[in-house]
Amino acid sequence: MNGDASGVGGENFDWNTDDELEVNDFSLSSCSSLTPPNGEAVVGCGEARSTAGCSNSKLIDHFIGMGFSKKMVSKAIQENGEENTDSILETLLTYSAIESSPRGQHDVDSDNSSLDSGGSFLDDFSDIDSSSDTEEIMIPESDVDGKLLSLVKMGYTVDEASIAIERCGQNSSLVELTDFICAAQMAKVADAHFPELPLEVKPKLKHCDFSKHKKRKLSDYAMWKKKRRNGVHDDDDETIHLPNPMTGFGAPGEPCQTISRTLPEAAVGPPFFYYENVALAPKGVWTTISRFLYDVEPEFVDSKYFCAAARKRGYVHNLPIENRFPLLPLPPRTIHEALPLTRKWWPSWDQRTKLNCIQTCIGSAKLTERIRKALEDYDGEPPLRVQKYVLDECRKWNLVWVGRNKVAPLEPDEVEMLLGFPRNHTRGGGISRTDRYKSLGNSFQVDTVAYHLSVLKDMFPGGINLLSLFSGIGGAEVALHRLGIRLKNVVSVEISEVNRNILRCWWEQTNQRGNLIDLADVQQLNGDRLEQMMSSFGGFDLVVGGSPCNNLAGSNRHHRDGLEGKESALFYDYFRILDLVKCIMTKAQ
């Protein structure tokens, strides 16, 4: 479940977060990889000076246009070959970071031919002992350290870089790592307020003080190295390590996994239960959730393996995991499959194939107009610094291309399609577009949930009795309906009148023949009321729900209090009600 976006800008990012929003304000630090050490703005690739008489002159010009010296570029190409541009860029970033350090500057001044020597720049990247506040920087000990240093040079903090490498895996490319950092940074976007166009995007900008920023980043790197060497770990390390890839106990089209699990005795039904919340919650949250839900191991799944949008969630359930099957027809898996009309206008430098997590708010017309003006300043492909600014905003707000130099946010019906709901599902409540986005942003991804619930179809051929807590707009109900599982009796508990109206309208439009009982407050649902309802239709077959994530998601910077927060503490009501249902059903047997 998604909380309403709230947070503040800046560079101090809390990494125990969901990937629901992307990069925050596009600061000077975030574009440092495109700013040369002398602080002057970099011209685009088309403005780079040419290097004649050489077969790889075009490639050299490309990197010179990014601010690297010809000698450095030649050395990097010689080490990596002309074909592997990613490796060339990584090497150049590492060279540049080293060259800009005090020791590196000394080495360059004393030996201008250092790039032509047999050794690598890394050979000279030894300890720095300075009387200033700069900590010692050691030789990178592995490819991981090299990537870490490259990310630091690009303007990201050591904490951001190290957690990205841990989460994405040591073999991840720089592109994957920067995408992950952008996704985590996006979770800090507070609301729909937008900054002015970053200075580095304005064509007239010529100077910025990059040296102090880079010095601090390299100091962070040194401090991280010292902590790791001394075996010191940060107190906020996750206690549960999320899988990579995040496919849970399996996903359609993904390599088959042989997974077996034995449920704790207390978790064995009836009833079946299914609980959902954001995967990247604060430290200890999933440990607590698992402990309360009978020590069942969470299943972490990213919905990008089911549709064209990411949605990292954890699920705790006692359902079988064998013989699952997906909803048919399979939903579009890429942006261009889901939104084919955007393909015509999609620039080659926007290499997104998946959207980020669907949010409760969208980008404004002011932002899209600012992006259009930034792009129209250039006849051809914009400079890399402008590309980075545009891509950061596109990732942050899930903007798609709708014309030449024009981007736009998703429409509500497009969001419904991405999340697996029927077209116009949220119009049934007679609500505003803003409320539609909010209701959708807080919902299940139907295809993902349906895959997990598909095992119930053969088990309940006559239909199912469902207790749906925190129902929202009925993601579980829609999933069961699309699976062809008849809804005999549904008790839906949802605090939002808007969402209750949406579910009720869907129930009527789909000609459901069962009984829908809708209640407003889980805290008012006690044992007597449950026993009264269950005695009339024989108990519940499934208890499903996702309690509010307002105090769990990274978008809530001020009240991210975990399960002790005002809203997210409602998880304990999910457990309380589930335990009451189990006791009542055991007593009736």
DSSP classification of residue 22? B
The catalytic residue among 31, 307, 361, 549 is: 549
Q: What is the pairing mode between strands 464-469 and 542-545?
A: parallel
Please say whether the beta carbons of 17 and 184 come within 8 A: yes
**C-alpha to C-alpha distance for 34 and 198, rounded to whole angstroms:** 14
Q: Please, what is the end-to-end C-alpha distance for the chain in angstroms? A: 34
What is the SS3 assignment for 103? helix
Chain centre distance of CA 35: 27
Neighbours of 340 (CB within 10 A): 10
Please say whether the beta carbons of 475 and 444 come within 8 A: yes
Look up tokens 């050794």; give the residue: 119
> What are the phi and psi torsion angles at 524 (to 5°)?
-95, 0
Of 207, 192, 188, the closest CA to residue 36 belongs to 207
**C-alpha to C-alpha distance for 45 and 61, rounded to whole angstroms:** 7
Query: Which tokens is 137 given?
Result: 């920087």
Query: Which tokens is 415 given?
Result: 């969001």
Q: Please, is 193 exposed, middle or buried when counting C-beta atoms within 10 Å of its C-beta (0-12, 13-18, 19+)?
A: exposed
Of 395, 519, 494, 579, the closest CA to residue 1 belongs to 494
**C-alpha to C-alpha distance for 78 and 145, rounded to whole angstroms:** 22
Look up tokens 């490796």; give the residue: 87
- Bridge partners of 544, per DSSP, are 274, 468
- The single-letter code of the amino acid at 129 is D
- The single-letter code of the amino acid at 500 is R
H or E segment and range at residue 315:
strand 312-317
Q: What is the pairing mode between strands 400-403 and 406-408?
A: antiparallel
Active site residue 549: yes
Please say whether the beta carbons of 446 and 481 come within 8 A: no
C-alpha distances out from residue 350 to 48, 67, 384, Å: 22, 22, 11
What is the SS3 assignment for 291? helix
Cα three-residue angle 278-284-289, rounded to 5 degrees = 60
DSSP string, 460-494: -TT-EEEEEET-TTTHHHHHHHHTT--EEEEEEE-
Active site residues: 549
